Amino acid sequence: MYFLKMENIHKFYGSVHALKGVNFEVAMNEIVGLVGDNGAGKSTLVGIIAGSIPKTSGKIFVKGKEVEIPSVKAARDLGIEMVYQDQAVVETMSVAKNIFLGRELLKPGLLKLLDMKTMRKEAERITKSLGLNIASPDQEIRFCSGGERQGVAISRAMYFKAELVILDEPTAALSIAGVQKVLEFIRQLKASGTSVIFISHNLYHVYPLADRIVVFSKGEKVADMRKGETSIEELEHIQISGKRISS
């Protein structure tokens, strides 16, 4: 059973043909590693899924039902959440406020007062369960490292029970320890039943975690393989040449 299925997706930015009839699927509780050179169309594809980029044509199905994803809110309502490297969080807001940003918990009653106490408690619970060592839910995001910020964004996705979480180059600007932390968050997302699309141009970050690896080149999907059907050497070759070794 697929969570997401995309058929014959095209995207034009003016005269730039960024996606050329792409078919792409994500199964339930599957980690899909998406790799390929700069400009291959990876961010465009996930932007279409996350509701931040409109497709030119093609069909999208979520759990077998055809959908339109015209906005980030529409994507969220379908259980799709994107974790951005930087924009996910507001620098001067606390960890707790960032996790609940736009979806704040309210106290019962007509006054619509923010239930800060519950939000702080829940923020602490979810960050702890992810193994994120943040001193307090009141800590401002600007005092968190790059890896911790992504942990906060993943906490958001987990709290609101996203069914598909997308990470676009989450390891790009991180220290070695930060990379390990983000890879561990992705493992925990999988353990919690979520599907994940993990984009990186570093195959060595993607390969150990992914159930399936998809390679893009110049707007086309050039490989789509279960991990057991391929090797990191073959994938590296495909990524560089845009072609499979055999067949």
Ligand X SMILES: Nc1ncnc2c1ncn2[C@@H]1O[C@H](COP(=O)(O)OP(=O)(O)O)[C@@H](O)[C@H]1O
Compute how many residues bind ligand X; rule: CB under 6 A.
11
By the rule CB under 6 A, 240 interacts with ligand X: no
Cα 193 → chain centroid: 14
Q: Which does 36 bind (CB under 5 to 8 A by kind): Mg ion, ligand X, none?
A: ligand X
Shortest-Cβ-distance residue relative to Mg ion: 43
Compute how many residues bind Mg ion; rule: CB under 5 A.
1
Please identify, using beta-carbon distances, which residue of 13 and 204 lies nearer to ligand X: 13
User: Minimum Å distance from CB 188 to Mg ion?
Assistant: 24
By the rule CB under 5 A, 200 interacts with Mg ion: no
By the rule CB under 6 A, 200 interacts with ligand X: no
Binding mask 1-20 for ligand X (x = CB under 6 A): ------------x--x-x--
User: Minimum Å distance from CB 151 to Mg ion?
Assistant: 21
Pairing state of beta strands 2-13 and 16-27?
Answer: antiparallel
* Among the listed residues 4, 26, 44, 196, the single contact to ligand X using CB under 6 A: 44
Please identify, using beta-carbon distances, which residue of 127 and 171 lies nearer to ligand X: 171
User: Minimum Å distance from CB 168 to Mg ion?
Assistant: 6
* Among the listed residues 43, 171, 194, 200, the single contact to Mg ion using CB under 5 A: 43
Q: Which does 69 bind (CB under 5 to 8 A by kind): ligand X, Mg ion, none?
A: none
- Degrees, nearest 5: CA angle 202-207-211: 135
Nearest to 141 by CA among 85, 87, 101, 89: 89
Site for ligand X in 150-189 (CB under 6 A): none
Is there a contact between 16 and 37 (Cβ–Cβ < 8 Å)?
Answer: no
